[in-house]
Amino acid sequence: MEVVKIKNLDVIVIGAGQAGLSMSYYLKQENIRHIVVDAHDQVGDSWRKRYDSLVLFTPRSYSSLPQLDLEGNPVEYPSKDDVANYLSIYAEKFDLPIKMNTEVISIKEQSNQKIVITSQATYHAKIVVVATGPFQTPFVPKMAKNLDSNVYQVHSSKYKNPSELNRGTTLIVGAGNSGLQIATEIAKHKKVYVSEGRKRKVLPKKILNKSIFWWFEKLKISDVSNDSKIGQLIRNNDPIIGKEHRKYVKSGQIIQKKRLDKIQGNNVIFENKESLEIDNVIWCTGFCFDYSWINISGVVSNSGQPKHKRGISPVKGLYFLGLSWQHTRGSALLLGVSKDAKYLIDKIKKDLLAVI
């Protein structure tokens, strides 16, 4: 591996998704010397590689980064490819310093420097911003190993479309936004079962012909912080956005089941003791954090969660960006991540002055 020491590099941003691009935009505005590194082949691949029917629940008018609107009808909802292409265009338009095909292997600290070892080179910088987002390592329950080998199983992060499924019964485990969107897609062709761990409120995408996010903005819900009582209440009862699945529930094409309790071969048992023979399982069970590559003590909790206060870690010169509820509900979304990036810029500038 080539070893590169860049003495004049101020900041390394890890991740070229919406969080990393937002951070890079503001760093460049402040003339702060930096690079963005990402393991993917192209900017936008983290969106481009997700399931074919993925559509955002935020309209285009609420799906843009600083100083560049997402093209198209502002009230329509962009697809995952629309977002992927937009991110590529954004990086090119602002000539952001990005190095793709660069996987971060580890970060360690030495004196006032952060040493970032990657698959391409080793970099030295004063500041590191971890902008890898909330979708890192797919979580699949341990009970999945009890499935017969002839049952097709896939995590939502790897699922593409219904054509990959076996004939027969399909169970989706997890009734969040992704689970219900995938269920709606499959229900157009055949019956599908959805196991939900808990009932969640479902909000429409529009109220009185205005986006729900327009209402969130007007009612100041978008500005509610995660450490406020209202913020904690919303976070603990985070609703599903969009009711497209409802008509398929009513028609019997989507059949809702209780929490999945056990798996025995191709037979699944729910917590109310009902059982079902299945041929496919799509795990819409979310993601786990993976910061095993950060070799700096005091950054990650025993549970694997990053330690931070509004993105500022306990370790000077190390920041996080793009986490769910980093500050508000929109922190991990296109509509909110740039606000968090802008907030961190002043902190980063102070850190840089402190190490000169």
pLDDT at 7 over 70: no
CB 77 within 8 A of CB 206: no
The percentage of the chain sitting over the pLDDT mark of 90, rounded to a whole number, equals 77
CA-based end-to-end distance of the chain = 29
Q: Establish how many alpha carbons lie within 13 A of residue 259's alpha carbon, considering only the half-sphere containing its beta carbon.
A: 7
How far CA 151 is from CA of 141, 167, 168, 306, in Å, comes to 16, 10, 10, 36
pLDDT-based confidence at 151, cuts 50/70/90? very high
d(CA 106, CA 55): 34
Pairing, β 113-118 against β 122-125: antiparallel
Average pLDDT over residues 21-31: 97
Helix (H, G, I), strand (E, B) or coil at 114: strand
C-alpha–C-alpha distance, residues 190 and 183, integer Å: 10
Give the residues across from 195 on adjacent strands: 173, 257
Classify the phi-psi angles of 113: left when phi > 0, otherwise alpha if psi is within -120 to 50, otherwise beta.
beta
Residue 14 has pLDDT above 60, yes or no: yes
pTM summary value: 0.92
Per residue in 245-295, pLDDT (tens digit) is 999 999 999 999 999 999 999 999 999 999 999 999 999 999 999 999 999
Q: Could you report the per-residue pLDDT of 219-255, keeping only the tens digit for each?
A: 888 888 888 888 788 778 778 889 999 999 999 999 9
**Do 52 and 95 touch, CB atoms closer than 8 A?**
no
Strand 318-320: give its sheet, edge to edge.
Answer: 98-99, 34-37, 11-14, 127-130, 318-320
Neighbours of 200 (CB within 10 A): 15
Using CA atoms of 130, 30, 46, 206 in order, give the dihedral in degrees to the nearest 10: 110
For tokens 């009932």, what's the residue? Answer: 199
Q: Contact 283/138 with Cβ under 8 angstroms? A: yes
Confidence of residue 128 (pLDDT cuts 50, 70, 90): very high
CA distance 177 to 242: 8
pLDDT value of residue 356: 55
Decide if 263 contacts 149 (C-beta within 8 A): no
